[in-house]
Chain A
Amino acid sequence: MNYLQLLQLAAPETIVTVTMLAVLGCDLTLLRERSVATRFRFGGLISIFGCVLAAIGLWSRMQVNHDASVPYHLDLFNGFLVAGPVTDFVKIAMLVLTIFTILISTSGKFTDHVGEYLSLILLGTVGLMFLVSAEDLLMIFISLEFASLSLYILTAFNKHNERSAEAALKYFLFGGTAAAFLLFGFSLLYGITGSTNLAEIARGLLGKGLDPLLVVAIVTTVIGFGFKVAAVPFHLWAPDTYEGAPTPSAAFIGAGSKVASFYILAKIFAIGFIGSTGSAVWHGYVSGWMPVVAIVAALSMVLGNLTAIVQSSVKRMLAYSAIAHAGYMLLGVLAGTPPSLSAMMFYVITYAATVIGAFGVVTVVEEATGGDALANFNGLSRRAPGLSLCLLVFLLSLGGIPPLAGFIGKFFLFSAVVGVGENLGLLWLVILAIAMSAVSFYYYLRVLKAAYVQDAAEGAPVIKVPALTLVALVLLAMLVILLGCAPGLLMRFL
């Protein structure tokens, strides 16, 4: 254990951090006095370059160890920093998502603190990358809070808009409470087992049954992560935050941070709490964490989808749909088998890509029409045909229409969940999920109806879509279609 090893293992994170400093430095010196658009363009370019470099580093680590018969497993400080093919790939996915988030931000007019904005996105990404590779409660907590702090500030970034500040404050207060719950649960776990390493916790819990303290620990952990992933009944911050935050920030909260949170949530439950799973199968209830997660998942799916129906703001609608999707993803967590976990990761990653795209379209529409109400999307197919075609792809994928990634993700996820245990015991949850996904189609279709069926107001001009954003959106749409038609491309890494 020396510093060289640490540097080697944490090289991608280091690269992103250095990039962050470079962006900040450039913005402060070279790009001073330039227009916001220029600064965004150059700063974004540097950030993307850094992300690409980090991703290449991760990729080469995966390739070097590709032929090994056993997947490589690098571990530093007993779980503080772990690297394996899956964690590395999830990090690459996060970096790609960050790149797209930056691309859709570059046309933003919500701030003139460009350097700070970009560096906060990069900092958040670094936090999330550390989170992905942590297998120790302490490190999980630190990196989660590290990432969250960046997200709070990103939410507040639109200084011209009071709602942005309100949203950030709400997000911060909820997030702080969640962190407290999480820390409380973690401290109990440490108290019971004498360790903060997930694998050692699992060993310590072995044979102890459902200790009352453990029950409290499980419940507080679920509450803590429930806040982070916006699952019902801990979702209340989400709609306001999504609506008030600058749209690219909302995309970052809804996409990148979701991927990391779900990955680590699954890890905690599948590794740490393996001995106290319990069961949520129909007529086969056994207490443990699985029933708790099942309740949260079911509530999220039902409430998220039903509330989304009545929203008139597209961003709020996307927030409630995010809650609903968190419910589907939790199904993958609670099933807890390797196929269900990789199906969940497939779902989360494709969902994140789709949601960045959807928010990207909303960003453009918002800039052009001054709002994100349904009526602002009227006649979009005429005003910006390419943009609305992208919107069509993203929303249909969220609704689960084949052959898009959202559908095949659902198929993977649901079939993996149904396959758990005897006698299709979890089918009730899947039936609920599929029924709710049928409901979700209605509110996605409402947006598309505005775009394709309704006419724009008389004389509404053609919307000029910023080139970089359009490129990002088209790439994302193609990615969504490609992953829907050939899911194996992504699935083989998970």
Chain B
Amino acid sequence: MLAWTIYITFIGVLVLMLLPRDNARAARIVALLTAIAGCVVAFIGAIQQTHPGEVATITQIDWIPSIGASYFLAADGISLVLVVLTGLAAVSGILFSWNIEKRTKEFFAFYLALIGGVYGVFLSFDVLLLFVFYELTIIPKYFLIARWGSTRKEYGAMKLALYSFVGSHLVLIGLVATWVVAKGQLGHASLNLIELSKVSLPLAFQHWMFPLVFIGFAILAGMWPFHTWAPTGHVAAPTAGSMLLAGVVMKLGAYGCLRVAMVLFPEGAKEWQWAIAALAVAGIVYGAGVALVQKDFKFVIGYSSVSHMGFVLLGLATLNTIGLDGAVLQMFSHGIIAGLLFAVVGRMVYDRTHTRDFNDLETMQLGKKLPFAAITFVIAGVASMGLPGFSGFIAELQVLMGAWAVFPKLTILSGVGIIVGVAYTLRAVQKGFYSDAPAKASDPHEHPLEPITIPEKVGAVMLIGASLVIGLFPGLLMNWIEPCVKSPLFERLLKGGSL
């Protein structure tokens, strides 16, 4: 069932390619229907899976027997969470790019190709297959940004593509080496993730292979100091592009860290635990600090993404149940909230005012002119700060609880990040919407701002709703995540490598 999320999305790409070139309306509708279908399938498939702690096989077919690769799609609780997130992000992204008029059909074709690749990554339990889907996402996101983006779009797109590509090549080195070593131990070639996770790779090998593969994935998760693609990429991207980048693409990186790097090299993870935690906290504090002084509205959100993804990495670094639970929940929560923030800034504000500079926005009194945007941003900001009742709170709380048990000093330091987080969010709310700066002398030729459209409202309500529901009933997702983290797949990781 879940495999259809991938197939439907790619069928959508094909249908879009066959549409006549100038029919923007048809392209939008096809894209939306495809995304909704994918989302519905994701939900139904996720609910049908009764034992989220187990890896439920969806399809397993021999693919390249000579190297032990198979077309192995499966899902456990963590996959389910992220597949559902992808479904929601896909639908909302399309709602917020309803106004794309330039080469609409191609835009949505690239958009859906990206989504299809993301679904594929989250459902692959064969390392090579996962890698294939992972790299499949690079090309569409490059074109989405370079073609439909704004500020320094070609630079941002190329930077993102090169960072992703370098990261994935670090992973490829690890993949090739691990394949060879595991073949020696297993006696046969295998790329099956579950099988590989049972192999005890030599200690020395793990110790230097883990950082390679982990960093390879973490580049895409926005780990400091490899995060620099993120702010420029987010800012350059069209609204839907930044929503997807923050919403799901950064999750690809974090997911790869957890699913591949940490599961394959548990000893290595133990060895480098401190380094990761330190870099994660550096990212949290640095991201928040830099967000505090930005002049460009979108850069604030871009850096806040780096900061929030730091919590995911911190959670992973704890190597304990509660920390990992928190990390996975934070992936979901950040995906929703950052998507919403980018939607407000990119679609509701920038597409109407054509500026993201706080100095200009201060004079526009958007709080009065676009009350819906203002309220949405306040709610999203509050959720992003980690107010109880929203998904961010319960996620970050768990990460901090997990981290406290392992590295209390770093945890306190990350608290600074949270406080600064409150500050930059409030600053953005104030400067962006509720500034008391005198209004600019009104220009009689100026067009009034276009009111917020229905698709935007629907998308915003959907995302706020998702964050609220998970904030109030975290059990909905925790029931998927918790048994999964306690499953045999992560057993060695949690026990510090030994079995």
Contact = CB atoms under 8 A, between A and B. Distances in A.
B66 A491 contact: yes
B128 A441 contact: no
Interface in A378-429: 396, 401-403, 407-408, 411-412, 414-415, 418-419, 424, 427
Nearest to B142: A445
A430 B176 contact: yes
Given A419-B183, A445-B142, A438 B132 contact: no
B191 to A, nearest CB: 10
A487 B138 CA distance: 22
Contacts of A47: none
Interface of B: 64-67, 128, 131-132, 135-136, 138-139, 142-143, 146-147, 154, 158, 161-162, 165-166, 169, 172-173, 175-177, 179-181, 183
Nearest to A492: B66
A276 interface: no
Contacts of A453: 143, 146-147, 154
A402 B166 contact: no
A452 B147 contact: yes
Interface residues of A, number: 29
A285 to B, nearest CB: 21
Contact of A408 (B64, B143, B173): B64
Given A437-B169, A449-B146, A449-B154, 16 more contacts: A396-B139, A401-B139, A403-B132, A407-B132, A408-B64, A411-B128, A411-B172, A412-B67, A415-B179, A415-B180, A418-B176, A419-B180, A438-B162, A445-B161, A488-B64, A491-B64
B136 A488 contact: no
Contacts of B138: 401
A467 interface: no
A424 B180 contact: yes
A401 B140 CA distance: 12
B134 to A, nearest CB: 9
A408 B180 CA distance: 16
Contacts of B165: 438, 441
B111 to A, nearest CB: 15
Given A411-B176, A438-B169, A402 B64 contact: no
B18 to A, nearest CB: 12
A430 B154 contact: no
A257 B158 CA distance: 35
Contacts, number: 73
A52 interface: no
Interface string A474-491: 000000000000011001
A435 interface: yes
29 contacts: A401-B135, A401-B136, A401-B139, A402-B135, A402-B136, A407-B132, A407-B135, A408-B64, A411-B67, A412-B67, A415-B176, A418-B177, A419-B180, A427-B177, A430-B173, A434-B176, A437-B169, A438-B165, A438-B169, A441-B161, A442-B162, A445-B142, A445-B158, A445-B161, A449-B158, A452-B143, A452-B146, A453-B143, A453-B154
Nearest first, the 9 A-B pairs at minimum CB distance are A402-B132, A438-B169, A453-B146, A419-B180, A441-B165, A418-B180, A414-B176, A415-B176, A438-B166
A434 B172 contact: yes
A200 B466 CA distance: 75
Contacts of B169: 434-435, 437-438
B158 A434 contact: no
A223 B67 CA distance: 34
Contacts of B180: 415, 418-419, 424
Nearest to B169: A438
A362 B162 CA distance: 25
A460 interface: no
Nearest to B110: A452
B64 A424 contact: no
A213 interface: no
A431 interface: yes
A415 B67 contact: yes
A268 B147 CA distance: 50
A324 to B, nearest CB: 14
A262 to B, nearest CB: 21
Contact of B162 (A411, A419, A427, A441): A441
A401 B158 CA distance: 16
Contacts of B139: 396, 401
Nearest to A427: B177
Contacts of B154: 449, 453
Contacts of A407: 132, 135
Contacts of B132: 402-403, 407
A305 to B, nearest CB: 13
Contacts of A403: 132, 136
A314 to B, nearest CB: 18
B103 to A, nearest CB: 9
Nearest to A389: B17
A240 to B, nearest CB: 29
Contacts of A487: 64
A403 B6 CA distance: 15
B114 to A, nearest CB: 14
A424 B212 CA distance: 16
A424 B202 CA distance: 12
B131 A402 contact: yes
B140 to A, nearest CB: 11
Given A401-B138, A449-B154, A453-B147, A434 B173 contact: yes
A449 B139 CA distance: 11
Contacts of B146: 449, 452-453
Nearest to B183: A419
A151 to B, nearest CB: 34
Interface in A429-465: 430-431, 434-435, 437-438, 441-442, 445, 449, 452-453
A245 B434 CA distance: 66
A291 to B, nearest CB: 21
Contacts of B131: 402
A388 to B, nearest CB: 11
A372 to B, nearest CB: 22
A308 to B, nearest CB: 15
B179 to A, nearest CB: 5
A11 to B, nearest CB: 32
Nearest to B161: A445
Given A401-B135, A487-B64, A424 B161 contact: no
Contacts of A434: 169, 172-173, 176
A300 B158 CA distance: 25
A418 B173 CA distance: 10
A435 B176 CA distance: 13
Contacts of A438: 162, 165-166, 169
A184 B340 CA distance: 72
B162 A424 contact: no
Most buried by A among B65, B135, B143, B165: B165
B67 A424 contact: no
A427 to B, nearest CB: 6
B320 to A, nearest CB: 32
Interface string A308-352: 000000000000000000000000000000000000000000000
Contacts of A431: 173
A419 to B, nearest CB: 5
Contacts of B64: 408, 487-488, 491
A414 B131 CA distance: 15
Contacts of A430: 173, 176
Nearest to A410: B172
A212 B183 CA distance: 39
B59 to A, nearest CB: 15
Nearest to A420: B180
Contacts of A452: 143, 146-147
